[in-house]
Amino acid sequence: MFSLGPLKIPNERESPKAARDHQAGSDGQGREGRPQAKPRRRRRTLQTLTLAPRLRRAMAMDAERRQAELIGQFSAQAAAVSSAPQLAALVLEATSHPALFAFSELLTLPALSKLAGTQYASSLDVLRLFAYGTLKDYKSNSGSLPALLPDQVRKLKQLSVLTLAESTKILPYDQLMQELDVSNVRELEDFLINECMYSGIVRGKLDQLRRCFEVQFAAGRDLTPDQLNNMIDTLSDWLGTSDSLLHQIQEKIKWADTMSEVNKKHQKEFEDRVEEAKKSIKADIDLRGHDDFLSESGGIMDFEEDRIRPKRRRQPPA
């Protein structure tokens, strides 16, 4: 699903043109005609409006909803018309719309498949180009494609920037100028700011010293059938790995449960033995105490018998 980033606003203090004019005059002199020192080249940046995460999510959802609404509108229009010229005009309108950046769903419409085999079949190729291709692809196949309107060229350049941002976050100016068919840096920076950053499809910084565009955010493009198949294969592999890992975890849980039961059983046996030992020791102590008591009682009785028994008088010696 196509998604947009946080809302972008330009620097309120100076416009992009004013910033360039402020950095260097055309004649190298100040207002009073006095020569001035050449200013240092500064990193040209675009301010971003700081929003709460909750508000940013709401805005992103609103942008996605807007894309879905536009696709729904064009889908309804395609279902309502039947002639090939009208369908070709609908493709032209969709690829020129300034707020629509997703086209793969339109390619799957049964109504547009009627263009195949007609003199307007090239409209399907144009729609496929806007879904998956770039400006460089158009130039390579311009002989078999109709001429593009200025709005379509601008849209295709925007989509080309998104394609480049998918592979790397540092886009050299030289590469961008070649891919976008731009002749100078000023024109390139104006396009990136006015047509890409202000529209919300990318967010980043223009580094004039390093001559590159640092991408911080870029909206995703439609997935080609090959990319979709690769994604399905990747997800299938991930699912298989997850199932295997889940099975291993379940086996370890079963082993842990078994060991826990064994430990509980051993603990119970140990406690039972300890209890039996306590009872045995207590019984032995009780038995010994009873025997000692009986022995002490017998000694008392013997003493009493000796005390009351008459003593024989000792005979005097003769």
- Average pLDDT across each block of 10 residues of the chain; the chain has 318 residues. List them in order: 44 45 45 49 43 57 80 93 92 94 92 90 95 95 93 96 94 96 95 92 92 92 86 92 92 92 89 86 76 56 55 58
3-state secondary structure of 213: strand
**Which residues does 33 contact at the CB level (< 8 Å), separation at least 6?**
none
Residue 118 DSSP label = S
Q: Which two tokens stand for residue 55?
A: 């508000």
Q: How many CA atoms lie within 13 A of 98 on its CB side?
A: 7
Q: Which neighbouring-strand residues pair with 42?
A: none
pLDDT at 318: 55
- Nearest Cα neighbor of 219 from 204, 235, 206, 208 is 204
Task: Give the burial string for 109-139 (b: 16+ CB within 10 Å, else e).
Answer: bebbebbeeeebebbbbbbbbbbbbbbebbe
Cβ contact 180:161 at 8 Å: yes
Parallel/antiparallel/unpaired status of strands 170-172 and 44-45: unpaired
Task: Give the burial string for 48-73 (b: 16+ CB within 10 Å, else e).
Answer: eeeeeeeeeeebbeebeeebeebbee
Q: Which two tokens stand for residue 283?
A: 């019984």
pLDDT at 291: 61
pLDDT at 84: 92
Burial class (CB in 10 A: 0-12, 13-18, 19+), 145: middle
Q: In whole angstroms, how large is the CA radius of gyration of the chain?
A: 45
Q: Which two tokens stand for residue 205?
A: 């910084």
3-state secondary structure of 215: strand
Residue 222 DSSP label = P
